[in-house]
A and B are shown apart, each in its own frame.
Chain A
Amino acid sequence: MGMTAVEKVLARASGRARARPGEVLYPVPDFIMIHDGVVMGAKRELDALGIDRLAAPDKVVMVTDHDVIYGSVRAAERGDFNRKAARQWGVQNFFDVGRGGHGHIFPMETGMLLPGMFYFDNDRHATNAGAIGAFGFRVGAEISRVLATGTNWVMVPKSARIRVSGSLKPGVHARDVGFHLATRIANGSLAIDLDYRVLEFVGDIGQFDLAARTALCSSPTEMRAYGVFFPPSDKIIALATARAQRPFTPVYPDADASYEADLVLEVGALEPQIALPGGVERAVDLSQVTGTAVSHAFIGSCGSSMYEDLVTAASILSGRRIHPGVRLFIAPGSERSTKRMIDDGIMKIFIEAGAVLLPAGCGPCNDAVIGPVHSGEASISTAANNNSGRFGARDAKLYLGSPATVAASAIAGKITDPRSLAASQEVLRLAREAA
């Protein structure tokens, strides 16, 4: 019997011919990512054990994305600690404040993360790697063992497969598909358990560019998937080849690979979705909540912060102003996207619309270190999830939508179907050229 994508990648990284679900392997990663918030814990743990050098400092990538501009004095102290840690450990790939951006976005844009790769990460949204045909595995605080020894145990996960059928209607976005998929899984109409599974997307996925594939990695992760995988298209391979910092070998599942579940997801009739407060799996058609007042809006996060997402939002905001009672935050996924938006005029659209530009990174979608909601408020955003208290007061109502829906809703001051506002064709042309 053949192997799924994750089985192939783990076998290769572990120096094995095969990998089977349930086996414990010690894969050697192509790199090791550690985010700003956990460096201190890992460093202190290793220091206390007397472990003063890392197995492979050249493989370590330290990113500053969760608390980029230091929302507190404590965060500033942590930044200082992280800089010293990078020096002591000899980490060259240190992306300090204002360098790089979101660790689950910019490595795909700069050719650091390439098809077929495997890496360890402390953070669970490393699943984004599947957008480009790679795997990033979350090990949480156990990243310390990876730093010290160069690897850690991985139990090979089971794989499931979703066959996408149909083409999205104009104005419907990959995030809408994600919310819908999560809701179908939660209500049992798609019989699939994603806990520690890798979800492979197949079928009509040619319509999804890298940004859309990234968006589709988000909701399954919230449903506890450990990995998501898109077999890289010719377009993705061409893009990766153009950016690649080193040679790579794409991986595709075998035709006779075995899947725990193999289901079809029809998307042709899908309407824009809104995930109601409390979880990505609480999605309804946008029409059911049209007109709900919002005062906080945010576009960004690991699910919706690629250049194409930002341009989609800008196409709605172009020539318009956001509602006087709304504050709209934009957090690009990378410094690269921020610079690109200056060059092509997208930044001007955001600023003229009255939006606030945040540094590249996670934005409010991390413990509200920046731009939180207050008690009683309603927010609409593209955050990774809308669990109670995700970015501020626990009783605030957090709605999720696509970048286009958030832009349209910020303009109207209430939840609004983006198809009701004409998008700037000139701006959309930029997005097409980018893709």
Chain B
Amino acid sequence: MSEFDWVLKGRCYRLGDDVPHAGGVIPNRYIIARQFDPAELIPHLFEETDPGFHERCRPGDIIVTGRNFGMGPKMNGYIAMRALGLGLVCESMPFLAYRAAIGEGLRVLTDCPAVTEICGTGDELEVDFRNGLLVNRTRGVSREYPPMPEALMDIVALGGNSGWLRRWWQERQNA
């Protein structure tokens, strides 16, 4: 595979605290239906709070959230975010939400205290997920947050758990 892009440059899309996965990220009906097809999910990302989001966002854009993002182990919204080429930076997320995002191959930083105070929707951001450096070009500020754990970077670079397993099996067959 080609070199994975660990640095995203794009616009900020800021959300508040306690955004639930069901409703806040993607309508609950797609979660209940166990819909995991990115093409089916993309049109509905943030649909209930911001219809048409998927048409306005661009690859490289970064969703910046407050505390407790995602709430629970659901992964449908992260599938859509990854397919759209987006990144995610959170003040905090429940661990199972974080694990679900990693498992879908999403570039994600969590435990970034007060990040919503230095970013606003539309700001030009640059985030390096390898070292946790966030630069807000619009405001001329930067912060260092905990990077993605090195041990998990393989999973994200390979597109999530399925991609990781596929390569693991191929390597085993070739060994």
Chain A residues proximal to chain B, CB less than 8 Å: 24, 45-46, 49-51, 140-142, 144-145, 148-149, 153, 155, 157, 195-196, 224, 226
Among B95, B100, B161, B169, contact of A195 (Cβ-Cβ < 8 Å): B95
Chain B residues proximal to chain A, CB less than 8 Å: 73, 94-96, 99-100, 103, 149, 151-152, 155, 161-162, 164-166, 168-169
Which residues in B have their C-beta under 8 angstroms from that of A50?
169
With A24-B151, A153-B151 known as contacts, the answer to whether A144 contacts B161 (CB < 8 A) is: yes
Among B149, B164, B165, contact of A155 (Cβ-Cβ < 8 Å): B149
Which residues in A have their C-beta under 8 angstroms from that of B73?
140
> Could you tell me the distance between the alpha carbons of A384 and B94 in the complex, rounded to whole angstroms?
20
Which residues in B have their C-beta under 8 angstroms from that of A141?
103, 161
Which residues in B have their C-beta under 8 angstroms from that of A196?
94-96
Q: Are A45 and B162 closer than 8 Å at their CB atoms?
A: yes
> Could you tell me the distance between the alpha carbons of A145 and B152 in the complex, rounded to whole angstroms?
14
Q: Are B95 and A142 closer than 8 Å at their CB atoms?
A: no
> Could you tell me the distance between the alpha carbons of A24 and B164 in the complex, rounded to whole angstroms?
16
Q: Are B169 and A153 closer than 8 Å at their CB atoms?
A: no
What's the nearest-Cβ distance from chain B to residue A426, in Å? Answer: 46
Among B100, B155, B169, contact of A49 (Cβ-Cβ < 8 Å): B169
Q: Are B165 and A144 closer than 8 Å at their CB atoms?
A: yes
Q: Are A145 and B95 closer than 8 Å at their CB atoms?
A: no
Q: 20 extra interchain contacts, Cβ-Cβ under 8 A, other than A24-B151, A49-B165?
A: A24-B152, A45-B165, A46-B165, A49-B166, A50-B169, A51-B169, A140-B73, A140-B99, A140-B100, A141-B161, A144-B161, A144-B165, A145-B165, A149-B165, A149-B168, A153-B151, A157-B95, A195-B94, A196-B95, A224-B96
Which residues in B have their C-beta under 8 angstroms from that of A157?
95
Among B95, B149, B165, B168, contact of A24 (Cβ-Cβ < 8 Å): B149
What's the nearest-Cβ distance from chain B to residue A358, in Å? Answer: 26
What's the nearest-Cβ distance from chain A to residue B22, in Å? Answer: 12
Q: Are A224 and B162 closer than 8 Å at their CB atoms?
A: no
Which residues in B have their C-beta under 8 angstroms from that of A49?
162, 165-166, 169
Closest to A148 in B: B165
With A142-B103, A145-B161 known as contacts, the answer to whether A224 contacts B94 (CB < 8 A) is: yes
Which residues in B have their C-beta under 8 angstroms from that of A45?
162, 165
Which residues in B have their C-beta under 8 angstroms from that of A140?
73, 96, 99-100
What's the nearest-Cβ distance from chain A to residue B1, in Å? Answer: 16
Closest to B75 in A: A141
> Could you tell me the distance between the alpha carbons of A77 and B162 in the complex, rounded to whole angstroms?
26
> Could you tell me the distance between the alpha carbons of A149 and B169 in the complex, rounded to whole angstroms?
9
Q: Are B165 and A51 closer than 8 Å at their CB atoms?
A: yes
Which residues in B have their C-beta under 8 angstroms from that of A24?
149, 151-152
With A195-B94, A195-B95, A226-B95 known as contacts, the answer to whether A148 contacts B169 (CB < 8 A) is: yes
**7 sampled A-B residue pairs with Cβ under 8 A:** A50-B169, A51-B165, A51-B169, A140-B73, A155-B149, A196-B95, A224-B94
Closest to A26 in B: B151
Which 7 A/B pairs are nearest by Cβ-Cβ distance? A196-B95, A24-B151, A24-B149, A195-B94, A51-B169, A49-B166, A140-B73
With A153-B151, A195-B95, A226-B95 known as contacts, the answer to whether A142 contacts B169 (CB < 8 A) is: no
What's the nearest-Cβ distance from chain A to residue B112, in Å? Answer: 15
With A49-B169, A195-B94 known as contacts, the answer to whether A145 contacts B164 (CB < 8 A) is: yes
What's the nearest-Cβ distance from chain B to residue A362, in Å? Answer: 18
Closest to A152 in B: B161
What's the nearest-Cβ distance from chain A to residue B163, in Å? Answer: 10
